[in-house]
Structure 1
Amino acid sequence: MRLDQVRVELRPRSPWEAMELGNALVRHHAGAIWRPWAAATLPVFVLLNAAAWALDALWLATLAMWWLLPLFDRIVLSVLSRAVFGDPPDTRQALSSLRAGGWRGALGRLGWRRPSPWRSIALPVEQLEGVSGEALARRRAVIVDGIQGHALLLSGVCLLFVLVLFVSLLSLVLMFVPEQLLSESARAMWALLTSEPPRLAQLALNGALWLAISAVEPFHVGAGFGLYLNRRVRIEAWDIEIVLRRMRARLSQAAGLLLALAALPLLAPPAAAQVGQRLQEQREQAAQQAATVEVPGARKAPTLPRVFGQDAVVDDAPFRQAVKRAYEDPLLNRSRTETRWQPRRTPDVPSPAELPGWLGTLGKLVAVLGEFGLWILVGLLALGAALTAKRWLPWMRGAAARRAQDSPVEVGEAVEPEHLPRNLAAEARRLWHEGRPRRALALLYRGSVEAMAARIGIALVPGATEAECLRASRRMPDATDRESFARMVRVWQLAAYAQRLPDEADFESLLSDLSLRFGWAG
């Protein structure tokens, strides 16, 4: 591995950060990963399903596709490993790497090590280390040790994501089913998938599972590769090695200049000696000029005794005094003295006055209410519910006794405030011929709801919606009665909300059907 050309920041991370690094690499190089993945897995998926179709066992195609995943994982790992240390390969290069080393160690990956939950972190050791035999086993054990718990959790989470995506793809079909037919459609789909499903349904299931695995498996491999990189960084100190290599590269650029400077004395030793002797003479001359002062007409005398005294060589007292005076400067002194005024006697703080007794009693009462107020509120709610149980208890109980006939349940749009007419079919036909079709359909809908509720023996809440009435009608034992009631609900919804009225033939057919089912007089 060429650590000096790494494209990511290699440093010790927590296992969660390492897995996020791998997922970030997968997202950044998504095109370079999924193109060769689709090019490699899609033909194999088609061939396996064709063979399973001929054997009339399409479940074998799903099992074989899942079992061959370690071979396809090499594509993702090849792209990520090259992208970390350079440019990612194109589709042809990724597929060629699969053909070049795809069968090395395939017996173990597809054999006894296939169910291993640590497959995502063991695969980089097998593919990138370039060792085999006992050395490979030792390196695999060293890399896996310490992160096997995170790898196990990673495998479980990826499996759950595959199941969620698979169920979501199946549920996507139910999103286009009307709400009234949702439960029946769901039961039909479940029966279709569980009790001898046809081949096309099995093929659709295989395709949905292949899409779910193709969406999740690259992230599984990428997170495992992130754990592998982090483990190598912690064991072999890759981050320190990268810093040292970069330092060596910077020093190698200045090595030529350093060698040239070091070789100058060797190239011209006489000239170098002359230059050194000249520099020494110049330093001695400067020192003599600093120690003497020229006086016209007099000898040059040293000036140091004038500054430090005649005994400057053996007595340094003047120098110490100069240092002392320098430290007495306020700008150089670190310590300072502050003066503050304080009173000699501290005033006595008056003690707080005692609260009156009634105020203390009021505080205790508020504390008790705050402590037990919630229980008091719960008790009041329970008492109110017990006092009004006669009103809401029949609605909460699904099999409560039906109310008396003098207080019928009104559902939907009420036609008249009084009870239903004795001859409901004749009254509905009269309203239809008088040019009031909406009133006629409302009367039929109300009568159908009351007849349905009376037949199954329940009491519907006032203002029950059409969907609630449909759910309640499923308790009718006769399937024909349920279909007739569902037909009435659909006709009423189209008339009430879409302004789509049936023609006279459909109205007569509906009226005859309902009169026959619910015993109305024609």
Structure 2
Amino acid sequence: MRIDQLNVALRARSEWEAMELGTALVRRHARAIWLPLIAVSLPLFAVINAAAWWADAFGWAWLLMWWLKPVSDRIALYVISRGVFGDEPRPLQTLRAQRHWGWSGFWGYLGWRRFSPFRSLLLPVNLLEGSDASQRSVRRRAVLSGTFGHAVLLTLMCMVFELVIVSGCIAAVFLFVPLELLSDSWRAAWEMVSENMPAWAQLGVNALFWLAATLIGPFYAGAGFALYLNRRTEMEAWDVEIAFRRMRDRLQQAAPLLVLALVLCWPMGGLHAEEPAQAPSCAAPTGTDDDAGDEEEEASDAVPADDPSNTPSVIFGGTPDTAGFRQAVQRAYEDPLVAPTREVKRWERTLSEAEKNKKKDDADKNRNPLGRGPRLPAQIAEWILWGLVGLLVLGLIATAPWWLRWLRGTGVRRRKATDPVVEEAVELPEVIPPDPAARARELWQQGRPRQALALLYRASVESMSERAEVVLPPGATEAQCLRASRRMPVEADRTLFARIVRVWQYAAYAGRLPEPDEFDDLATTLQTQFRWRA
């Protein structure tokens, strides 16, 4: 799996974010999912219900359709697993792939695993990883740990959505019944369902269940696949691996430049002829008796004595002469250089009888803690006191919101005095001055930018009305002015008017003022193009 080709951002997500990512993937590849899904499930629905109609067993038809729902999940999983790598299959490719893709690890979900609430999370393990049957159980446990609760909730939520769709479609039938006939119609429908439901009604209910499963099934499979991706990202650190791969690509691109810089900057005086290497010494290393003993201990620890590979037949090949071989081994062990021995003498203080008895009593008490006598009640009392201290600490932590503020000096929190909000009412001027651009610059310099923009907007509306030869109604909105500006014959005038309207809306409704240079450029452009007096 080339994780560097994934077209989704790999990062540490919560399980709810991962499920939302799965639904987004389903919406992205909706056509590639539902076309082959309908092409497979609709003929299957027709065949099953036709056989149930012939055998008069529509209940078994619904059960069989429900049992075959993993087939739909398999189709959706095939499309999404390839779509995340930017290789969205065509519907015909998806249909052809169903003949040979993933059947070896799929039969369990049509058998003993059909009732598993973790199907959406574990189905990618069987169909996408391609591991052996002996390793699948280990992989399923690893993927399921820490995420099984959300997988169960996903299954329950999708079941609820399907039931809502079915019940909503059934209830929608009664919306077309007149109100005065609603009670009688409801009673007749209940009697029909409870006593002897006709075949056409059973076929309709099965069709509603097929519709609900077809709509919700891909979202169920997609959310489970996203949970699987998120779990593998957590276990295998895919996001870190992708970061390292991108770093490697950047370093590979910069490697020629680094080598060239190293060659150019290498000091010429540092180039010397290599000295001939000295021949390694063949003399055996010397050491003390202690070193020889340590080496012998390490060798004995490295290869156990009962190791099957530590036998003469394995070491020397074939079966050597046992008697001669043992004599050679015996002579080798008798060599003082191979198995050195030494004698160590150490002085120790002789203990008196009283000290020996005391030491023995202490050892007996350590082996039998209950034999300490009077210290056992004291130990129990100490445990009780520590328990009371723990309860007291928990009580203090639980009641901290009530007593902590009193320790700060007062029980009433002082609210920080907020500065009064000064709002300046923006009003469009009724009378336009003969030089609106110069007047707007004065208002901007006085610290009244919104009034300046209002003046420019009002003057632009008047100039637009003259050039478009339209009469605007009183209180015309910006949208009405923009529609009226389309009648201006010059394209540059229409573009400039749309610009001043956009700047005015940002300032009036969003509080986003232009920069001083941008404002000055806008005023100059309006003055020049609309021929205002300077």
**Higher Cα Rg: structure 1 or 2?**
1
Q: TM-score, normalised by structure 1?
A: 0.50
